Copies of this chain bind each other. A is one copy, B any other.
Amino acid sequence: MEMHAFGRLTAVEVARRRLMGAVRPIERTEEVPVDAAFGRVSARTVLSPFPIPTFARTTWDGYALRSEDTRTARRDRPVTLRIVGEVFAEQAYRRRLGPGETVAIATGGAIPRGADAVEIFEEVERDDGRIRLRRAVRPGERISTPGHDFARGARLVREGEELSATALGTLAACGIASVRVFARPVVAILPNGNELLPPGASPKEGRIFESNNATIAAVVTSAGGIARPEPPLPDDPDRIERALRRALRTADLVLATGGSSVGERDHLPRLLPKVGDLLFHGIAVRAGKPTLAARAGRRIVLGLPGHPTSCLVNMYWLVLPALRRLARRPGPGWTPGWAVLGSDAVAPTPGLATVVPLRFEGGRAYSTFRGSSVITSLSGATAFAMLPPGRRIVRAGSRLRVFHLDPPLGPGGPASPETRAGANR
């Protein structure tokens, strides 16, 4: 069994910068109805095609009138107007309002020509086809004029904006039925390793169930991407190379797992330079050292460690920011903050930075790490710390720079309890 040594390991920040520098934000776009575009990223700056409202309309149920007719109205000296018609919301009163005339009008109704104000039902006395007003109504009162909400050409949405409920309502209110958004990046996930069984198969000695597809797909979804997990491949360099090349033709990012270290059956370090330009191989970090990346044209292919915890930890600190840049989402996917450690955190390997997954309890942070092969090493973790190389132990009670994982963005994905609690101010 032949083992090669890693060359010089790449520092955490260098690896991240190289990867981020190589990622090209997605250019593909698609047209989506506004009532199905929630959370998508607009690919255009959108201007209002019309002044909104497109016509003068009342903002209340009431009576449209000529304000000058009410000028002399006082509490003890009412003015009387004659009701000559009524306007439901969608109708227009066709005649021009004459002196002393009024039209009953429902909220949103078009103001008849001649009228310039509206008095609400509750403020008038009505009987026998007439109303009495006891106050002067100001010109323009309770009227929304054309373009009051949005001028024609007003900017409704910026390119790159994540479409909120309000933004989508604004587009619809301006008559826009669909919006051009950036496509969600497609991320191929290619597990490899003779030891891998697909979940659902019968257990075999020496074989383990492939689980990185599930965790990586979750992170990809949370970042707004489309995960395309593939069944595990054996340690066959030709098959892996063919799978890599096929994935690079159809996916925006390729994440291969396993076979990323320096053993003779770790094929990715020899294959990635064949399909692209190597960005790094081997990161000075624990867990997760056997990680490599290459740029292949506009695309990136990463080789991630097969150990479930190492793989997922690297997804969070290294790959998530790249995924978000690819998907044109702002920020790295986590937010820096400070925390007080509830128990000692250990950096076991000199020369390597250490990622410590953290859960919070009673306002303190505790490592959840149980070993890189056990996926539950990340159960309940909502943040992580990155201990610099050379530090061996950080004592309970120390204040520590931490990175809170942002609430997942995936369909119906839960916001983390910690971040929710963070909104409690």
The CA-CA distance from A50 to B201 in the complex, in Å, is 12
* A248: interface (CB < 8 Å): no
A169 B308 Cβ-Cβ under 8 A: yes
Q: Is A291 an interface residue (CB 8 A)?
A: no
- Residues of B near A235 (CB, < 8 A) are 88
**Complex contact A409–B413 (CB within 8 A):** yes
Q: Is the CB of B412 within 8 A of A423?
A: no
A104 to chain B, nearest CB (A): 5
- Evaluate contact between A170 and B329: CB separation under 8 angstroms: no
Are B89's CB and A35's CB within 8 A?
A: no
Prevailing SS type, chain A contact patch: loop
User: Which residues of chain B have C-beta atoms less than 8 A from A208's C-beta?
Assistant: 53-54, 57, 108, 173
Interchain nearest-CB distance for A257 vs B (Å): 12
In the complex, whether A271 has a CB less than 8 A from a CB of chain B is no
A224-B308 in contact (CB<8A): no
Q: Are A199 and B175 in contact (CB under 8 A)?
A: yes
Contacting pair A375 B218 (CB below 8 A)? no
Residue of B nearest to A219 (CB): B165
CA–CA, A335 to B339, complex, Å? 22
**Chain A interface size, under 10 / 10 to 19 / 20 to 34 / 35 or more:** 35 or more
Stoichiometry, copies per complex = 2
Q: Which residues of A contact B (CB under 8 A)?
A: 1, 3, 34-41, 50, 52-55, 57, 59, 61, 86-92, 104, 106-110, 121, 144, 149, 162-178, 184, 189, 193-201, 203-215, 217-219, 221-224, 227, 229, 235, 263, 265, 307-308, 312, 315, 327, 329-331, 335-339, 371, 373-376, 378-381, 404, 406-415, 418-425
**30 pairs across A/B with beta carbons < 8 Å?**
A1-B61, A34-B214, A35-B213, A38-B222, A39-B222, A39-B408, A54-B205, A55-B206, A59-B371, A59-B373, A87-B206, A88-B194, A88-B195, A91-B194, A107-B373, A108-B373, A109-B195, A109-B206, A149-B376, A169-B214, A169-B308, A172-B215, A174-B209, A177-B200, A338-B425, A406-B420, A406-B423, A407-B407, A409-B413, A419-B422
Q: A38-B217, A54-B204 are in contact. List 20 more A-B contacts (CB 8 A).
A: A1-B104, A39-B412, A88-B265, A90-B196, A92-B206, A110-B206, A149-B375, A169-B212, A169-B215, A170-B211, A172-B213, A172-B215, A173-B208, A175-B209, A177-B199, A223-B412, A338-B425, A410-B412, A419-B422, A422-B422
